[in-house]
Amino acid sequence: EVQLLESGGGLVQPGGTLTVSCVGSGFTFSNYAMSWVRQAPGKGLEWVSGISGSDGRIYYADSAKGRFTISRDNSKNTLYLEMSNLRAEDTAVYYCAKPRGDRGYQVLTHFQYWGQGTLVTVSS
Amino acid sequence: EVVLTQSPGTLSLYPGERATLSCRASQRVSSVYIAWYQQKPGQAPRLLMYAASTRATGIPDRFSGSGSGTDFTLTISRVEPEDFAVYYCQQYGGSPLTFGGGTKVEIK
């Protein structure tokens, strides 16, 4: 059974830095691109960033470029999102998401599996 | 960036009625790059459809998708009580991936 478990959310001050993590299980982690998708309270879904399984392809939304860094450690089956210079508008639930089985190579794709999310609150 | 506009914002229906949800793209998107999700309060999104008209694993056949070019539609033939939720379309034809603003299907 595929499972994605996010952690690391919390309260951070504007301008601060926070790293959220996602541990994947039930599949060969290195074979799959992964993404971060966020959802501000009461709002819709916004894709933030995606990374390929092992060949270094990375994409960012404009809202994340220059402030957020996506990375992964395949030996630990873990996906990361380091967020710096955080703003109030970054307050959201951050989900990690995984493609369907036959779309593992594609970073820019749709998502079959989602974690439960971790809440990041940016406030003084 | 491809902007996806969903309408209506809210759809009020009785159980058993037909639901028609629209997703309009700001530029042409190949139908192979359109997905639909369902989200209930406090839950992560659930993939319903991909490639515009292919149901994801375990999705009942009362859900169907169609469309091409810039106009895409998700139809629920007869809304069941468990279908009341928010629905999002997504395009994955290029970066950035984008989602529509959502359509809430509520009980009338």
A105 CB-contact burial (10 Å; exposed 0-12 / middle 13-18 / buried 19+): middle
Rounded to the nearest integer, the mean pLDDT of chain A is: 96
- pLDDT tens profile A46-89: 999 999 999 989 999 999 999 999 999 999 999 999 999 999 99
pLDDT value of position A94: 98
Amino acid at A8: G
| pLDDT the model gives residue B76 | 98
Position A85 scores a pLDDT of 98
CA atoms within 13 A on the CB side of B81: 0
Q: What is the pLDDT of residue B93?
A: 94
Cα-Cα-Cα-Cα torsion B6, B9, B14, B15, nearest 10 degrees, comes to 50
pLDDT attached to residue A124:
96
**Is the bond into B41 cis (omega within 30 degrees of 0)?**
no
**Of B14, B4, B30, nearest in space to B87 by CA:** B4
- To the nearest whole Å, the CA of B92 is away from the closest chain A CA by 5
Query: What is the pLDDT at residue A100?
Result: 87
B17–chain A nearest CA distance, Å: 25
A36 pLDDT above the threshold of 80: yes
Q: Which residues of B touch A44 (CB under 8 A)?
A: 88, 99-102
Angle at CA of residue A96, ends B44 and A59, nearest 5°: 130
Which of B92, B103, B104 has the most A C-beta neighbours within 10 Å, making it the best mutation to test the interface with A? B92
Quick one: average pLDDT of B39-57? 97
Kindly indicate the confidence band of residue A9, based on its pLDDT and cuts at 50, 70 and 90: very high
Residue A118: list chain B partners with CB under 8 A: none
**Pairwise CB contact (< 8 Å): A44 & B101:** yes
Please give the share of chain B, as a percent, with pLDDT higher than 70: 100
Chain B contact present for A82, CB below 8 A: no
Cα dist from A114 to A3, A6, A81, A100, A117, whole Å: 8, 10, 15, 11, 8
Distance CA(A104)–CA(B90), nearest Å, equals 18
CA dihedral A34, A83, B4, B106 (to 10 degrees): 90
Q: What is the pLDDT of residue B31?
A: 83
